[in-house]
Structure 1
Amino acid sequence: MSTIRAFTAADAPACLAMFDGNVPRYFGAHERADFATYLQQPARAADYLVIESGGRVVACGGLAMDDALTAAFCWGMVDHTVHRQGLGRALAQARLQQARTCGARRVVLRTSQHTCDFYIGLGFGITRVVTDGHGPGLDAVDMQRVLSLG
C-alpha cells in the first residue's frame, strides 16, 4: 500500500536518488544541483509531496502558486523501477487537489516529450514546445490544465 505525505528533509537523499535514476531519459544531469537546492528550502514541508511504499519513497512532486489563480507542478518524478504502476497518476491527482485547495483555477507545468502524453491523459494541453529546451534531445513541453470549479 502507498501513502502520500508531506516531504521531510530526511526524504531528500531518496528524492535525489530517484532523480539520478531518471537521468538522462526524463531529466538532464545538469539539473541535479537545481533540484538539490530546491529540496533544501524550508517551504518544501508545505508544498512538496512524496509517495511512500514498502518503507521507501517511490515518487515525489511539488506545487507552487505562480499567482492567486495559477499553480505550477514542480519537480515531479517516479522511481524508474516502479514506472507504469499508477504512482505518477496518484501524485498528479494529489497535486491537482492541492491546487484546488489553494484556490487555483489553472495548473501549468513544463515537462518533456517523454511524459507529455501522460499529462494529456490527465486533461492537460500543450501550450508550447521548445526543441532541446532541457538539453540535447530533451524538449521542453509547456502544458496547462484549467481546473473545474468545485
Structure 2
Amino acid sequence: MEIRKYSSRYRSQCIEAFESNIGQYFDSSERAEFIEYLDALSESSEYYICLESGGEKLLGCGGIGLNSSVASLAWGLVHKDFHGQGIGTQLTDFRLSYIKHNISLDKVKIETSQHTQGFYEKRGFTVTKTTPNGFGAGIDCVAMELM
C-alpha cells in the first residue's frame, strides 16, 4: 500500500469509496458534504489517499484539519471491499504521526460513529460526547479527543 497526497484525479474513486460505506458508516445525507469537502481541497491541504502498491486503485482516504491549537482527523474511510486489511490502521497512524512530528498542537479531535469508536479508543482517544442518530438514522455522532 502507498499513501500519497490527494489530487483531484482521485475524486471519483474517493466518492466511490465513500458510497461503498453508506448505510453502516455514513448516512447518504453526508455525500454532498463529502463532495464539497473534496472540491474545496487545495494543494496545501493535508488530505491523503491510499493506493494499491504500484497501482492506481484507491483503497481509502483521509485528512487532517487544523484549527488554532487543535487538529482533527477528517473524512477518513476505507473502501468497503478492503475493510479488515489494516488499511484504516495504517492511514490513521500515518495521520497521527504527521500531526505529532509536524504540528505543535494541544489535542486531536474526531467525530466518528459508534461503529468505529473502539478503533479510535485503541489509539488513545476518549469520548467527549455522543449524539444518538447524529449523522443519520442508526449512526450516532461520537465526538472524541486525543490529548
Q: CA RMSD in A?
A: 1.2
* Separation in 2, partners of 1:44, 1:27: 26
Distance 1:45 1:56, change over 3 A: farther
Partner of 2:109: 108
Partner of 1:31: 30
Distance 1:95 1:40, change over 3 A: same
* Separation in 1, partners of 2:136, 2:20: 17
* Separation in 2, partners of 1:96, 1:43: 21
Output aligned runs, 1:76-87, within 5 Å.
76-87=76-87
* Separation in 2, partners of 1:13, 1:125: 33
- Sequence identity of aligned pairs in percent? 32
* Separation in 2, partners of 1:31, 1:106: 25
Q: Is 2:65 the counterpart of 1:59?
A: no
Report deviation, 1:66.
Answer: 1.7
- Secondary structure of 1:32's match? helix
Task: Say whether the 8 Å CA contact 1:107–1:145 is kept in structure 2.
Answer: yes
Residue type matched to 2:124 in 1? G
- Secondary structure of 2:109's match? strand
Report deviation, 1:140.
Answer: 0.3
* Separation in 1, partners of 2:43, 2:12: 14
Residue type matched to 2:61 in 1? C
Report deviation, 1:45.
Answer: 5.2
* Separation in 2, partners of 1:7, 1:83: 20
Report deviation, 1:8.
Answer: 0.3
Gaps of 5+ in 2: none
- Please list the CA deviations of residues 117-142 of structure 1 after superposition, one character each: whole Å capped at 9, or x if unmatched: 01111111111100010111110000
Partner of 1:135: 136
**Normalization by structure 1: what TM-score?**
0.92
**Normalization by structure 2: what TM-score?**
0.93
Partner of 2:17: 18
- Secondary structure of 2:36's match? helix
Partner of 1:94: 94
- Please list the CA deviations of residues 77-134 of structure 1 after superposition, one character each: whole Å capped at 9, or x if unmatched: 0010111111111111111122121222311000000000011111111111000101
- Secondary structure of 1:38's match? helix
Task: Say whether the 8 Å CA contact 1:109–1:143 is kept in structure 2.
Answer: yes
